[in-house]
Every structure is written in C-alpha cells, then in structure tokens.
C-alpha cells in the first residue's frame, strides 16, 4: 500500500480572485467613507431642526455605513498579512468577523428604529417637510455615489459586500424619506415619516439576515452554497481507477476561497499520482477549488471484494481509517 498526501494552493490565494488590486479596493472604500462622513454630519443637524425621525434614522444608518467601511478597511489589512505562528491560514477570516459585525449592527439599529417609528405612529410630532425633502434628495445622490465607489471594489468578499449592503440600504432609506417628505408637504400627514422608517427597517433586516447567514456558514465550516458534498463525492468516485472516497470535507477558509480534503482509494495497480492529478483537475475546472489535500492509497483487499450497499468494510478497517467521517462513496448505491 502506498500513501500519497498532496496540497495544492498556487499563490496561496486560490479561488479568491480580485478583479482589482487590494490597494485599489481600499481607495474606493476610503472615497465612499469620506462622502458619507461629510454628509452625515450635515444630515444630523437638519434632522434635529426639521424634527424628522426618518432623517435622524438615515443619519444613524450612515454612521453604521461609516463604521462598516472602517471595519472593512481594517479587516482587509489584517487578511493581507501572511500566515505565521498558530495562524496557519493567516487572518483571512478577519473579514468574516467584519461581515458579522455589519449584520449585527443592521439588526440592532433596525430594532431601535422600529421602536421609535411605532412610538411616533402613536403620537406623531410635527415634521418640516421642506428641509426633510431637500436633505433626502441630496442623500440619494451621496449614497448612489458611495454605492458606486464600493461596487468598484471586490464584492466577492463578504467584508466588502457587507459595507455595500449598508450603503445600498441607506440609499433605499433616503428614497423612502423623500417619498414621505412629499406626502408631508402635500397632505400634512406627519405619520408618513415613521411609516417610511418602518419600510427601511424591513430592508435592513433582510440585508442583515443575508450577511449573518453567509458569514455563519463560513464560521461553521459548511460547504460553499453552490457545492453539494454528496454529489461531489459521487463525481470523484466515478473517475477512472477510483474505488472509494471517504472522509470528504469541503469548506470555506474565507469568502470566495474554498478548501477540500479527502481520502481516496485506488485500484490495485492503479497510478495514485495520475489519479490525484485527475481529481485535482476536475476540482479546479468544475468547482474552482484549487486548495486541496488528497490522501491517495491503494485499496485494501476487502474494499475490492463485492460488498453490500452501505457496507463500510475497508473504510472502517483498523489501521486503514479508524474514525471515518461522513458517507463512504463507491460506484454503487449508498445513503446520502
């Protein structure tokens, strides 16, 4: 029996291709941050003077926009540091922490705004529609520009996507605020202001759920959303000379960078190196997984014998693989 272990990760950045350089990403994010910070300061003043909760909520949301971009910039610098010491993957998951922070701030801010909006629906204060409308229209322009800046960065990163979702939700908020201001000016219905706020809260909750779900999958080391591990195992075992695949694990190191490990058994007399190269090519070409660790062995005699579907003989044979994880994939029916 011959054992062959292999890891392949060209450039150490497999499957995490950036359309633009990291420095360029940072410049676009910094430009968006400057726009948001300047406008947010002016908006708080107008919101207090006009008595508009929608404007104040937009300003508070813009504060979280700014914080999300700062987190993104810090996380990008941490993720760029080389692997060393106990951090064998480096600090690549710093960006996932940032994405989770963005999702949580959206939820918490949304809860506070929902409470304030309901309170104002019950007892609506007077709202100055003119300043509210003017500020909202300027806010739309500012957020469109900021969203465009962030969209030029690498949005395959959950970190950048989190900042983008913050700004995009703020854009929707300003559109809602502008609509509410029109209603206030035309009809004097001050309740339009908190109603617009509740619409924005719903959008914030939706964006927060998406960020927390995607970042949570990475922290729990789930397979990428577009990869079914069972179907992947069936494809691997269907390759020439492959008898069995078990201990198959596929997970994400960070957004856009998947890794895979598996134990592969090859027919007696089969070329283990050729099989490994063939499997790596399949994973790279069809799944974009280039960070792989494949242990390739010749199959023990028991595995080569005819076995009943689901029989784990061989995989559970002492000395071969004492504690196999997950289903055993063979060219026969097996549980999924």
Q: 10-residue block means of pLDDT along the chain (336 residues)?
A: 47 39 75 86 77 70 78 78 79 81 84 86 79 84 88 74 80 84 84 82 84 88 89 92 92 86 91 93 91 89 53 47 68 63
Which pair of tokens denotes residue 86?
């106990």
- State the pLDDT at residue 334: 58
- Planar angle of CA 108, 111, 114, nearest 5 degrees: 150
With a CB cutoff of 8 Å and minimum separation 6, the contacts of 124 are: 190, 191, 193, 194
- State the pLDDT at residue 190: 79
Of the candidates 210, 290, 297, the residue with the CA atom closest to the CA atom of residue 250: 290
- State the pLDDT at residue 13: 39
Q: For residues 211 and 110, is the Cβ–Cβ distance under 8 A?
A: no
Instruction: Report the C-alpha gap between 55 and 139 in whole angstroms.
Output: 10
Q: For residues 287 and 258, is the Cβ–Cβ distance under 8 A?
A: yes
Identify the three-state secondary structure at position 287.
Answer: helix
Instruction: Report the C-alpha gap between 223 and 229 in whole angstroms.
Output: 7
pTM attached to this predicted model: 0.69
Measured between alpha carbons, how far is residue 74 from residues 13, 83, 98, 109, 330 in Å? 19, 17, 9, 22, 46
Instruction: Report the C-alpha gap between 318 and 309 in whole angstroms.
Output: 20
């Amino acid at each position: 029996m011959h054992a062959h272990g292999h890891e392949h990760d060209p450039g150490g950045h497999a499957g995490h291709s950036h359309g633009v350089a990291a420095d360029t990403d940072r410049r676009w994010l910094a430009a968006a941050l400057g726009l948001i910070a300047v406008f947010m300061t002016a908006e708080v003043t107008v919101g207090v003077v006009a008595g508009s909760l929608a404007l104040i909520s937009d300003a508070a949301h813009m504060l979280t926009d700014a914080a999300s971009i700062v987190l993104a910039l810090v996380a990008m610098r941490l993720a760029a540091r080389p692997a060393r010491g106990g951090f064998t993957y480096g600090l690549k998951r710093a960006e996932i922490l940032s994405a989770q922070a963005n999702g949580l701030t959206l939820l918490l801010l949304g809860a506070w705004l929902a409470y304030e909006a309901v309170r104002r629906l019950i007892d609506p204060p007077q709202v100055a529609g003119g300043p509210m409308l003017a500020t909202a229209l300027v806010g739309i322009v500012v957020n469109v520009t900021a969203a465009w800046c962030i969209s030029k960065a690498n949005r395959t990163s959950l970190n950048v996507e989190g900042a983008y979702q913050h700004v995009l939700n703020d854009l929707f908020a300003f559109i809602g605020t502008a609509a509410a201001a029109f209603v206030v000016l035309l009809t004097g219905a001050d309740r339009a202001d908190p109603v617009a706020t509740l619409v924005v809260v719903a959008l914030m909750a939706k964006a927060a759920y998406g960020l927390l779900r995607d970042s949570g999958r990475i922290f729990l080391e789930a397979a990428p959303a577009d990869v079914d591990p069972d179907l992947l195992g069936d494809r691997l075992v269907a390759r020439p000379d492959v008898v069995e695949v078990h201990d198959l694990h596929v997970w994400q190191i960070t957004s856009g960078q998947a890794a895979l490990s598996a134990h592969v058994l090859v027919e007696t007399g089969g070329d283990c190196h050729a099989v490994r190269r063939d499997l790596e090519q399949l994973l790279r070409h069809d799944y974009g997984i280039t960070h792989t660790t494949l242990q390739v062995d010749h199959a023990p005699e028991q595995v080569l014998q005819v076995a009943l579907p689901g029989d784990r003989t061989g995989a559970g044979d002492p000395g071969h693989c004492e504690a196999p994880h997950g289903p055993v994939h063979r060219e026969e029916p097996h549980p999924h």
